[in-house]
Structure 1
């Protein structure tokens, strides 16, 4: 085994393990808090969903890339490849839509009372689960094309259009179905990213206005609650910024690969970027949102032995 393959395997395995541990910690934390009767914020539902989808994304992309880098080339059969690509596409889309829902929900939460969104603010928590269910069903149905795309995979083994993902062979996106599907996915991604950027810009504007108002206030009894809301908003802004950064770099690289036959190292770089957000997002949430530390403190205080 070459030295660069060993280094690549270590990088992917570290990235995947770190991301799965972080996301699993968040999911387990929410489950334990819920079972022990602690009250969770409505937005924690979105955090839990995002952690689940990110874990699936890491398992369907990071884990196979690790095994391929460590020498297990093309170890999956056709059915395994199809299922793996399907899970990857669905989890990627759900991670995108959940991040968009997260930024939109927080923008509505901090909107001023006199705005039009104030009427939606009180009902917004009730819409989280219905929107999440519709999003999940939509992505499950949209990505059924993966099964159509790879149904003739075995017959195309000797095609000049075949390229290798490292752990599973695939076909270039050259037929008309793939082109149409690529356009639909690109429009979907562009819509979600635009909504995220718009919601983030709106939150930044509100935070700036709120900061200016606090400079002229002498009443301090409302400031602790406002500070907590501001910190939660800033954590979501940081989370969205992390997503947009990784997504933009990965999209640029994917666009370059689409114009020419991609090499294996380019696809490995794309895989590294695609699982970058799922890896770092749980640690961004934990470190920037003080509520998670409070949850841990409550559980530790409840389970700590009394001397």
Structure 2
């Protein structure tokens, strides 16, 4: 084991440990609030779902990737490899779709009560739970192909049989079937990201208009403090911006790996990039959400 492997292993431990701790803390707070605290806001259900998905992303990939970085490459059999990659891909899809739902929900919430979105705005809180179940169903069915193709390294006769994913392997045919890859994996992701970018643009426009109205009414020095709705919008804008940034970098590197030389170092870096949003997002919520903030020493009670 080289010093580079040691550094990568420590990075995975730090990223997975702190990220899982933050997401688990959020889940705990939302669970306590659900049973004994004030009534959960509709958006809190999405935040809790996002924290659970991010926890699953970090644990399903961070733990085996840490072991691989420290030189333990043959610790999973076929079933273990299939389950690890399957649940990681499902969890990643859930994180993506939940972030998309968050941006869409907040964009509709910001829309004027007199607009054509008024009826949707009143009904959408009741649709959050069904939407989450729909996301689970969609991703569990979509990524079943992973259960058919991913194998443990011990089942591969030689390295030329497949793409070596450090502790598991996938047949070469998967990466070269570009049409299937785009349709099954990439097209939904592009659609989700497009919705997020559009919703973000709309929310920025609405916040700008709101700020200009307050500036006109109160003047520069007398603008009142932000409303809870505005603070929630800014938090979601930050979350979506983080997601799109990390997702873009991860996608570029993944595309390079598909057509370039696949090395263990690139695989490790790609996994680190993919886990950055799940690891960082809970702390964005902890610091910016006033209901969560009061449980921590990171910020004061508003």
Can you give the 5+ residue segments of structure 2 that lack an aligned partner in the other structure?
A: none
Map of 2:4 onto structure 1: 4
Per the alignment, residue 245 of structure 1 pairs with 245
Secondary structure at the counterpart of residue 71 of structure 2 = coil
Tell me the distance in 1 between the aligned counterparts of 2:8 and 2:155. 31
1:67–1:152 distance in 2 versus 1, CA, 3 Å: closer
Question: TM-score under structure 1 normalisation?
Answer: 0.89
Q: Which residue of 2 aligns with 1:305?
A: none
8 Å Cα contact 2:142/2:184 also seen in 1: no
Displacement of 1:153:
7.8
* Residue 229 of structure 1: aligned partner: 229
Corresponding residue for residue 82 of structure 1: 82
1:283 positional shift: 0.5
* Whole-angstrom CA distance in 1 between matches of 2:155 and 2:254: 26
Aligned to 1:279: 279
Contact 1:153–1:170 (8 Å) recurs in 2: no
Moved more, 180-189 or 19-28: 180-189
Please give the per-residue CA displacement for 1:171-219, whole angstroms capped at 9, x wherever unaligned: 335477674144321110000000000000000000000111112335x
Structural mapping, 1:96-107, within 5 Å: 96-107=96-107
CA distance in structure 2 between the partners assigned to 1:135 and 1:173 by the alignment: 28
SS in structure 2 at match of 1:145 = helix
Task: Say which SS state the counterpart of residue 160 (structure 1) adopts.
Answer: helix
C-alpha displacement of 1:40? 1.5
Q: Tell me the equivalent position of 1:137.
A: 137
The alpha carbon displacement at 1:110 in A equals 1.1
For 2:152 and 2:67, how far apart are their aligned partners in 1?
25
| Closer, same or farther: CA 80–292 of 1 in aligned 2, 3 Å | same
Deviation at 1:119, TM superposition (A): 1.8
Equivalent residues in 2 for 1:1-307, closer than 5 Å: 1-150=1-150, 156-158=156-158, 160-174=160-174, 179-217=179-217, 227-294=227-294
The TM-score normalised by the length of structure 2 is: 0.91
- Quick one: distance in 2 between partners of 1:132 and 1:93? 12
Separation (CA, whole Å) in 1 of partners of 2:174 and 2:124: 42
> How has the CA–CA distance of structure 1 residues 213 and 121 changed in structure 2, closer, same or farther, with 3 Å as cutoff?
same
CA gap 1:175/1:155 in 2 versus in 1, 3 angstroms: farther
Alignment partners' CA distance in 2, 1:295 and 1:131: 29
Q: Using the alignment, how far apart are the partners of 2:273 and 2:155 within structure 1?
A: 31
Asked if the contact 1:34/1:40 (under 8 Å) is kept, the reply is yes
Inter-partner Cα distance in structure 2 for 1:229 and 1:295: 20
Aligned residues: 295
